[in-house]
Amino acid sequence: MPEHLALTPAWQDIKTKLREAVGASVFEIWISPLELSGWDGAVLTLKGDPGTDAWVADRYGAIIERCARQVLGQNVNIAFSGDPAAAAHASLAAASSRRHPSAQQPLPAAAPERINPRHTFNQFVIGEGNRLAHAAALAVAEAPGQAYNPLFLHAPPGLGKTHLLHAIANYLAAFEPHTTVRYTTVEAFTNGFIAALNGRALDRFKALYRDVDVLLIDDVQFLASKAKTEEEFFHTFNALYDSGRQLVLTCDRLPSQLTGIERRLRDRFESGLVAHLQAPDMRTRITILRKRAALDNISIQDEGVLELIAERVTDNIRSLEGALIRVVAHHSLTGHQIDRALTTTVLDAIRPQPSRPTPGTRQVSIAQIQQFAANQFGISRDDLVGASRVASIAWARQLAIYLARELTDEPLQSIGQAFGGRNHATVLHACKRVSDRIVVNNDDAAALRDLTDSITSSQS
């Protein structure tokens, strides 16, 4: 039997890894048609459509080789039967690696440092609220510096901005392994800049961020009030942009709303494509939960479980997935089946459903919420709306802001004004903090439930 036929089971394993790496749609179009046509113990020869072999070899050859080496060992090389030059090159490379193992070419980097390998385009759930942002990010990944430069993604926390940054990095690592990509947050950029100044290593710092093909920057709103860091970032931005290299930035608000940042930098943020991500609708939330369950190999027999979570958790994806994780954790710890009863019990603990006033009854006001929160935590209302950063006061303030958003129809700006003139971004941050804490801490969930009950019962 020809040796390559004996390799058929291993080829199926390689194809399984390729499907996971490139996603189902890409796999079905370009990888699935490939056939195993030869194997000499060192070179794996593949055969596809003669009209597309060269393109597939150029586009996906590196990732096919990486997956093959994961199954067959590090000395494997890939060739295409329709590309004699590639086959000859692979044979020479294999012979060289046998003679000089230390000279073997390294595998392409799997992904830039700090990038989450699970955050890929294939795992990103597309809905009406994020379709433009997803399409723009994919276009940037496919043609860095040519599509939209800079790409500015803005949305409240937890709606997928960072996921798209990581997806760009993972895509480039898979399909363009020689493209240099760097991901960072403004906080890390700031800390690195300060360390470079103190250590007289500014040239090394500049090279770290300017000698790249693609720079991905998270949370640019935190450049506000950091004059020296902002100045350095401005020159980094210009150095990359002027040389045609790609920048992708995320922020929790529009460039025009970054009042603490100089106009010249805001103008640069607006010079490319500004794309907004909105909170997912009901159908998208259910799809997100279904995909997360599949990714974590969680068996959900009753689709109503996902519907219950999606109905209750509407503000952001992080909280949505956190609620599912909490339900699964209760199942693991108690042995109770994952059904609607268990889900309702968990959601009632971590995400109390506020009882809104019925028509004709008196609606709660922000001032009343503030007074109830102050009473529950034993502080004055002035402290609650003031500037104190004492942990207990800050937590009481965040709870009150959260309930002001849940129990009243006031816009974010009005809520912020009622809490000492804070802006809408601070209101969203407070709501996110509460959403995150009640998912992982029973005491925090109980505090929210008690405060909610006190407020709503006073309105009956």
The residue ranges of every structural domain in the chain are: 3-103, 131-276, 282-350, 366-458
**Tally: H helices and E strands in the chain:** 21, 8
CATH of domain 131-276: 3.40.50.300
Per-residue pLDDT at 394: 93
Q: How many angstroms separate the CA atoms of 111 and 402, rounded?
A: 37
CATH of 282-350, one of 1.10.8.60, 3.40.50.1820, 3.80.30.20, 3.40.220.10: 1.10.8.60
- The label of the residue with tokens 């036929």 reads 5
How crowded is residue 144: how many other Cβ atoms within 10 Å of its Cβ? 21
Per-residue pLDDT at 86: 42
Is residue 169 a contact partner of residue 201, using CB atoms and an 8 Å limit? Answer: no
Fold for 366-458, please state it. Answer: Chromosomal Replication Initiator Protein Dnaa; Chain: A; (1.10.1750)
Query: What pTM does this model have?
Result: 0.56
Per-residue pLDDT at 245: 93
Please check whether the domain covering 3-103 is classified as CATH 3.30.300.180: yes
Q: How many angstroms separate the CA atoms of 115 and 415, rounded?
A: 36
Sheet holding 43-47, edge to edge: 35-39, 43-47, 77-80
Q: What is the DSSP-derived secondary structure letter of residue 374?
A: H
Is residue 133 classed as helix, strand or coil in its secondary structure? Answer: helix
Q: What is the pLDDT along the chain (460 residues), one digit of tens a residue?
A: 345 555 677 888 888 888 877 776 567 767 888 888 888 777 888 887 766 667 677 777 888 888 888 888 877 888 887 644 444 344 434 444 433 333 333 333 334 448 888 899 988 999 888 999 999 999 999 999 988 999 999 998 889 999 999 999 999 999 888 899 999 999 889 988 998 888 888 888 998 899 999 999 999 999 988 889 999 999 999 999 999 999 999 998 899 888 888 899 999 999 999 999 988 888 889 999 988 888 878 888 888 899 989 888 887 888 888 889 888 888 888 888 888 888 888 888 877 665 554 444 457 899 999 999 999 999 999 999 999 989 899 999 999 999 998 888 888 888 999 999 998 778 888 888 887 788 667 778 888 888 988 887 776 5
Per-residue pLDDT at 107: 31
